[in-house]
Amino acid sequence: MSQPTSFPKSDIRVLLLEGVSATAVESFRAAGYSQVRTFEKALPVEQLHRELADAHLVGIRSRTQLDAEALSHARRVIAIGAFCIGTNQIDLEAAEVAGIPVFNAPYSNTRSVAELVVAEAIMLMRGIPQKNAQCHRGGWSKSAAGSHEVRGKTIGIIGYGHIGTQVGVIAEALGMQVLFHDIEAKLSLGNARAAAGLDDLLARSDVVTLHVPETPATQGMFGPGQIARMKPGAHLINASRGTVVDIDALAAAMKSGHVGGAAVDVFPVEPQGNADVFESPLVGLDNALLTPHIGGSTLEAQDNIGLEVAAKLIRYSDNGSTLSAVNFPEVTLPEHTGSTRLLHIHRNVPGVLSQVNEVFSRLGVNIDGQFLRTHAKVGYVVIDITATQDQADEVREQLAKIPGTLRTRVLY
């Protein structure tokens, strides 16, 4: 079913749920979108469906479930923004086959994680988790034994991506030696050096920190063997994913003293919400610095997410660019000043493109530029033309009639 959309910005209704950051609201207003409706919380299902039916651009965080049923109400929605990192709360395939790109902000909280990790490296090397626990129990163990400056010590970074590189840069500024291990060849920043392999990194690092994604290859990649190859008394930080580390093996090594201390932010099983009880083999160990998966949770990160996702939605709405959409053919587009742009989203079946081109030749409209990307199920073609508004509207109407068309839009 085709849903034609071609209207001025002032008619585009933006719906932002779950207290999406004010930076997003400001971005939309600054870009000329005056109809921005905000809700502080996730909406009850029926109200959500009603609101979706009226909205053109939708922003949610992690609590709003946009399943196939909810998306069936989103008849006018042209794009969805997940103002968070994950997109599990959205049925991405249902959105794609409805012609709706979904955008998120995978790297807005990179700095927040990196700062926490470096702070934890300092805390661990000073034995602060144990000292803090003792003081809370009325103990007083004033001693320099086992306490070290981080200056001149080696931090081993496993996974030298967005977060890993930032950790390296900040650690180096504190005078640490930076070693890293990655499965890809990576350009090192500053004086960081690639280790000869994971075992080499483990043998040389005073603090080991994990920054790998959750993949089949990283599940349990840090088990008893890797822990045994760490330097005696070295520390471990995991703010990546809970499944990466064998937590029972870590607990055993922390009890034996082979691992001096650990800072852990992510767990194999995490409570669903703040009302649930947290359980872990690390609970009760004085040398464990435990945090409830808040590595990326800062107000600055929220503001960055607001800016990043709003910018992606605005770009798509104004320009048609789907760069970095998580579920959609990615098209990067130049500005279209001086020409009119038509967007045609269709099921990826044979013959659609020739019918699209046939519309232009039939109506005698010359094509200035054409951009096409396809996924298995959906194709996205963008056509720039020099035409009057009436001609463009006529072209769009004809494009909307092509069998397999999901959505069409015209950007004047």
Quote the CA–CA distance of 102 and 92 in Å, as a whole number: 7
239 near ligand NAI (CB under 6 A): yes
156 near ligand NAI (CB under 6 A): no
Are 167 and 155 in contact, with CB atoms under 8 Å apart?
Answer: yes
CB 181 to ligand NAI: min, Å: 6
Task: Point out the catalytic residue in the list 13, 162, 293, 375.
Answer: 293
* HEC letters along 86-123: CCCCECHHHHHHCCCCEECCCCCCHHHHHHHHHHHHHH
Active site residue 241: yes
| One-letter amino acid of 170 | I
One residue of 21, 240, 317, 327 binding ligand NAI per CB under 6 A: 240
Please count the other Cβ atoms lying within 10 Å of the Cβ belonging to residue 305. 27
Quote the CA–CA distance of 295 and 118 in Å, as a whole number: 11
Candidate segments 46-54, 122-130, 213-221, 344-352, binder of ligand NAI by CB under 6 A = 213-221
Task: Point out the catalytic residue in the list 93, 270, 279, 358.
Answer: 270
Site for ligand NAI in 294-313 (CB under 6 A): 295-296
Quote the CA–CA distance of 409 and 3 in Å, as a whole number: 9
Tell me whether residue 166 or residue 177 sits nearer to ligand NAI (CB atom).
166
171 near ligand NAI (CB under 6 A): no
Size of the chain in residues = 412
Quote the CA–CA distance of 104 and 92 in Å, as a whole number: 12
One residue of 59, 99, 101, 164 binding ligand NAI per CB under 6 A: 164
Active site residue 13: no
Please count the other Cβ atoms lying within 10 Å of the Cβ belonging to residue 56. 21
CB 194 to ligand NAI: min, Å: 11
Quote the CA–CA distance of 9 and 29 in Å, as a whole number: 11
Tell me whether residue 130 or residue 226 sits nearer to ligand NAI (CB atom).
226
Quote the CA–CA distance of 369 and 29 in Å, as a whole number: 30
Are 255 and 285 in contact, with CB atoms under 8 Å apart?
Answer: yes
Active site residue 75: no
CB 178 to ligand NAI: min, Å: 15
Strand partners, 234: 259
Are 205 and 154 in contact, with CB atoms under 8 Å apart?
Answer: yes
Q: How many residues interact with ligand NAI (rule CB under 6 A)? A: 32
Candidate segments 11-19, 24-32, 169-177, 180-188, binder of ligand NAI by CB under 6 A = 180-188
Candidate segments 93-101, 179-187, 201-209, 304-312, binder of ligand NAI by CB under 6 A = 179-187
Quote the CA–CA distance of 4 and 242 in Å, as a whole number: 45
Residues with a catalytic annotation lie at: 241, 270, 293
Binding residues (CB under 6 A) for ligand NAI: these are: 85, 107, 109-110, 113, 158-164, 181-184, 211-215, 217-218, 221, 239-241, 265-266, 293, 295-296
